[in-house]
Structure formats: C-alpha cells, structure tokens
C-alpha cells in the first residue's frame, strides 16, 4: 500500500511542490485543496479525515495537536502511519 499524505494548512504550500519535484508519484493533498478538508477545518475533524481516508498527517502544530491526538485515541480513533 502506498503512503498517502495530508499536509496541514499551517505548512507552506512550497513543501508540497518541493516533495513532488523529488518524487512526482507521491500522493499528497494539502488542507484547502479539492478532495481535502477545507481551510479552517478544526484539528479533531482533520484527525477524523486522515483516519477515514487512510492518510498520514504532516503538521508542525505542536501547540494543540498532541491534545487532540490524545482525545482522538481515547475515543478509539486511529491514525495511519
């Protein structure tokens, strides 16, 4: 199975461009793009999305994401990767 990524909106769009230059076969979506959650989607809904669509979340949100991850796992949620 191929790894599928979701880049959080707090990461630069240039990251996706750079990664695709290195490997154009990567499956990368960024929050706000078609088929991805819209900009402004709350972290708990982002975690539900990556669980449902089997994507690995790439984020640098260390302020609130750890708390949301713990809540997600406490409710029996799953994160790919």
Q: What is the DSSP string of 44-62?
A: HHHHHHHHHTT-EEE---T
For residue 42, being part of any structural domain is answered with yes
Cβ atoms of 75 and 26 within 8 Å: the answer is no
**What are 5-41's pLDDT values in tens digits?**
999 999 999 999 999 999 999 999 999 999 999 999 9
Position 3 pLDDT exceeds 80:
yes
Q: How many percent of the chain have pLDDT more than 70?
A: 99
Question: What's residue 19's pLDDT?
Answer: 95
Q: Is residue 80 part of a domain?
A: no
Alpha-carbon span 60 to 6, nearest angstrom: 12
Task: Give residues with Cβ within 8 angstroms of 38, minimum separation 6.
Answer: 31, 32
Tell me the residue range of the domain where 22 lies: 4-75
Q: How many whole angstroms from its chain centre is CA 27?
A: 12
Residue 81 lies in a domain: no
Say what the pLDDT of residue 46 is: 96
């Amino acid at each position: 199975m191929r790894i599928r990524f979701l880049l959080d909106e707090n990461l630069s769009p240039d990251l996706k461009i750079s990664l695709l230059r290195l490997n154009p076969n990567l499956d990368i979506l960024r929050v706000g793009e078609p088929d991805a959650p819209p900009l402004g989607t709350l972290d708990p809904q982002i975690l539900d999305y990556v669980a449902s669509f089997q994507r690995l979340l790439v984020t640098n949100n260390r302020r609130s994401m750890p708390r949301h991850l713990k809540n997600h796992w406490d409710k029996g949620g799953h994160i790919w990767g």
